[in-house]
């Protein structure tokens, strides 16, 4: 039953999990209807999404909140912790490093890199900013599974390749370019300019149709 899962389903699963986290009546149950209401989707969609991964509701009752939450964490792969390397100690890197939800969800930042000599050696929490010279070496040594690229587009492709070379399993990419890496290494792009453009498009569109 678990074959090709739509990206949109994955995004909704995150939403469901978020809803359940802000739901302290942990002992109780929740219906697809209620879950849908919190997530701006439909009950049928919720059930279909979940059905991709098995059937863990009780007919007539709904879903056990505790259990569903645990199951979603498992599906999303956050029922464990991830060893993360942060590449780029600029504003965005700093913001991510400090992001509370980050650590809280098991994403452990175990190394920070930056090419700027002025930054190398700087202490960030328990971490120290390192030189890219020791990139592969450190990634391997610390068994980093996932890197966050918060560097300019010009450097991103090279660092992505080096990360893959060092055995990283996935990349969260903030640089506004399409990385060229082997398909076995998933890349998730976050492109702030694109988000702003989507917004100004939507506004312009609304105005045109008004």
Q: List contacts with a second copy (CB under 8 A).
A: 2, 5, 7, 10-11, 13-15, 17-18, 38-40, 75-78, 82, 90-92, 94-96, 98-99, 101-102, 105, 107, 145-146, 169-172, 176-178, 184, 186, 188, 190-206, 208
Min separation Cβ 18 and DNA, Å:
17
Whether 158 contacts 149, CB under 8 Å:
no
Contact with DNA (CB under 7 A): which of 13, 20, 50, 144?
A: 50
57 binds DNA (CB under 7 A): yes
Stretch near DNA under the rule CB under 7 A, chosen from 40-48, 108-116, 140-148, 175-183:
40-48
Min separation Cβ 146 and DNA, Å:
24
173 binds DNA (CB under 7 A): no
Long-range contacts of 59-65 (CB under 8 A, 24+ apart): 61/29, 61/31, 62/29, 62/30, 62/31, 62/32, 62/34, 63/29, 63/30, 63/31, 63/32, 63/35, 64/29, 65/20, 65/23, 65/25, 65/26, 65/27, 65/28, 65/29, 65/30
Output DSSP code: residue 81. Answer: -
Min separation Cβ 187 and DNA, Å:
17
């Amino acid at each position: 039953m678990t074959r090709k899962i739509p990206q949109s389903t994955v995004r909704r699963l995150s939403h469901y999990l978020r809803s359940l986290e802000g739901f302290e009546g942990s002992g109780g149950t929740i219906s697809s209807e209620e879950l849908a209401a919190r997530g701006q989707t439909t009950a049928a969609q919720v059930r279909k999404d979940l059905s991709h991964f098995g059937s863990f509701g009780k007919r007539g009752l709904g879903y056990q909140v505790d259990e569903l939450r645990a199951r979603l964490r498992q599906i999303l792969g956050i029922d464990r912790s991830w060893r993360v390397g942060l590449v780029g100690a600029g504003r965005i890197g700093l913001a991510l490093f400090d992001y509370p939800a980050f650590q809280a969800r098991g994403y452990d930042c175990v190394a920070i890199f930056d090419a700027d000599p002025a930054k190398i050696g700087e202490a960030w929490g328990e971490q120290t900013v390192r030189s890219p010279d020791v990139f592969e070496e450190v990634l391997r040594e610390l068994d980093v599974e996932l890197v966050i690229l918060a560097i300019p587009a010009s450097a991103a492709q090279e660092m992505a390749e080096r990360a893959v070379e060092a055995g990283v399993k996935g990349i969260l990419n903030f640089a506004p370019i399409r990385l060229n890496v082997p398909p076995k290494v998933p890349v998730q792009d976050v492109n702030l300019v694109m988000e702003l453009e989507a917004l100004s498009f939507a506004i312009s569109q609304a105005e045109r149709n008004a």
